[in-house]
Amino acid sequence: MPEKALGGTLVSVDDEGFMTDPKQWNEAIARAIATEFDIELTDRHFMVINFMRQEAAANGKVPSLRKVKNESGVGTKELFQLFPKGPAKKAAKISGLGKPEGCI
């Protein structure tokens, strides 16, 4: 399995760059990944990130965009502003989670 240096830490990633062990994740890693997308993380970003991590830990899978928009307190329009051009995939990657089901 490939490894990648993120936020000063060497982490395991899959072929698409998604972390394979969410336990390796920390805020510095999130900021490093976000920088790759030219995103500067704010409290609103972390609201989505923390929701996704909690859902994934509780249910064993990355939440869908629909679940995020319905339950995180951040609507669809804002999700696309926070994570342009693919909010589910980008938010999952920044959250240290795997690729969401249904994403191509």
Q: Say whether 61 is catalytic.
A: no
Active-site option among 20, 22, 67, 103: 103
Q: Distance between CA atoms of 29 and 83, rounded to whole angstroms?
A: 16
DSSP 19: B
Q: If we measure between CA atoms, which residue out of 9, 62, 51, 64 comes closest to residue 33? A: 9
Burial class of 57 by CB neighbour count within 10 A (0 to 12, 13 to 18, 19+): exposed
Q: Distance between CA atoms of 102 and 104, rounded to whole angstroms?
A: 6
List residues with catalytic annotation: 103
